[in-house]
Amino acid sequence: MAQGNGYSYTHTIDGQSEASERGFGVINPATAEVFAQCPDASREQLDRAVAAARRAFPSWAAKSFAERREAIAAFAHGLAKRIDEIGPVLTREQGKPVGQAKWEIGGAVHELEAMCTEELTSELVRNDGKHRVELVYHPIGVVGAIAPWNFPIILAAHKIAHGLYAGNTMVLKPSPYTPLATLLMGEVARDTLPRGVLNVLAGGNDLGQWMTEHPGIDRISFTGSVPTGKKVMASSSGTLKRVTLELGGNDPAVILEDADIAAITPNIFRGAFLNAGQICMAVKRVYAPEKLYEPLVEGLTKLALSHRVGDGFEDNVEMGPLQNKMQFDKVNGILEDTKRHKGARITAGGHTLNRPGYFIAPTIVADANDEMRLVREEQFGPVLPVLKYKDVEDAIRRANDTRFGLCASVWTSDFERGAEVAKRIEAGTVWVNHHVGSEADMPFGGFKESGVGRELGHMGLVSYMEVQAIKVPVA
């Protein structure tokens, strides 16, 4: 069995604990050292997990929404009982402060219940006296869910909630960077869900490809980067799997001339630097009008300089490290490119911390320009560019000048005007005077290369089902 801190981590297959012959090390990003071993699932173990899910599917799909809701609620309650145990594991493997780790697990508990309220019934679309046409919703079958490393628990919970509530069974794979807390979710499933309904396997990139190619898996739900999402779609095409891809973003915050800078600056800062900026929907670039520009830069700079960074177990830490060396090196590369651009001002941060681990100081870059990597790419780290615009048309044009389209925000004292500007921004979610957050009844997904399909809300639930049209003569 793979171990860490005296604990043995195992897969969950058909409601049972399973070890693997092989394992891999899990690194604590605050120390850059391996702290635990994780089992590495074989292709044969995946085959058995898929077979277990297929066996469990008929009886699970036959249950009513109310019965499935009750079972998922039991799973949520089981997870809630282990927050204090799982939270520190999540901090060690992901890096976020332990209070934020426990908040994430608590959020997953809430979402598991909040997402399982709507009941899909047949829908009458025509009854003209000659024929009656109904739409009937059926679960798809076995879902392959692949979760990311930035919020491994709550994003897995989104997939579990709607996937299982719709009547499907599931094989869940966490990121190899953050597998352990998710394996503990599998332990909860053993005690609360019927055998085979939720199987949890850890492994590397090979496991992900085996899942996307597997003929026994009917649907893939993937959250991660754009390049990997494209590979998932290509790999899934061989069996024409239904695919939902929630991918990256380069999310703009557009500040209008009437915004209250003193009031909104802390909210923009939180939207950019929560989880060390490692959030697909985080603020990635800020556009401010000339008259508000310097007060905004000054306010963001003060917050960055006072933001406490450290190991997630240290007192009063607000931000942990980057989660892995690959991301750490990428953000450092973007920082070095930024320093080569004449005119760009780094007003806070701009350096790594002199300590073990993957730490980068919260960084504000003023006088950024549209051609910098920091503006063109998704940095996915604690570095925020602030750009100046001349008028709203200029801001909207530049906000939309990207291959991404996940989220955005508009900041103003005139909410209706903010809503009108929001409608012109090419993104799946646009907030007014807010940035970052998901809600159980609000569909989430992206325009352009930021994804395919939607999760959450009515659209998310329907995406886990097949829609059947039935036409019947009227007697």
426 neighbors 417 (Cβ within 8 angstroms): no
Helix (H) or strand (E) holding 172: strand 169-173
Q: Which residue from 177, 158, 368, 360 is spatially nearest to 277, judged by alpha carbons?
A: 360
Q: Report the C-alpha gap between 50 and 214 in whole angstroms.
A: 9
Q: Which residue from 381, 370, 363 is spatially nearest to 287, judged by alpha carbons?
A: 370
Residue ranges with strand state E in 43-151: 123-127, 131-139, 142-146
Question: Is there a catalytic annotation at residue 18?
Answer: no
3-state secondary structure at position 40: strand
Two tokens at 23? Answer: 């394992």
Give, in order, the Cα–Cα distances in Å from 199 to each of 86, 150, 244, 455: 18, 21, 19, 21
End-to-end CA distance of the chain, in Å?
65
Q: Report the C-alpha gap between 467 and 284 in whole angstroms.
A: 37
Active-site entry in 111, 246, 378, 449: 246
3-state secondary structure at position 394: helix
Q: Which residue from 460, 419, 154 is spatially nearest to 281, judged by alpha carbons?
A: 154
Query: What residues have CB less than 8 Å from 51, skipping those under 6 apart?
Result: 216
Question: Is there a catalytic annotation at residue 85?
Answer: no
What is the CB neighbour count within 10 angstroms for residue 291?
9
Q: Which residue from 203, 151, 246 is spatially nearest to 44, judged by alpha carbons?
A: 203
What is the CB neighbour count within 10 angstroms for residue 256?
20
Query: What residues have CB less than 8 Å from 198, skipping those under 6 apart?
Result: 12, 75, 160, 164, 169, 170, 172, 186, 189
Query: What residues have CB less than 8 Å from 23, skipping those under 6 apart?
Result: 2, 37, 38, 39, 40
Active-site residue list: 246, 280
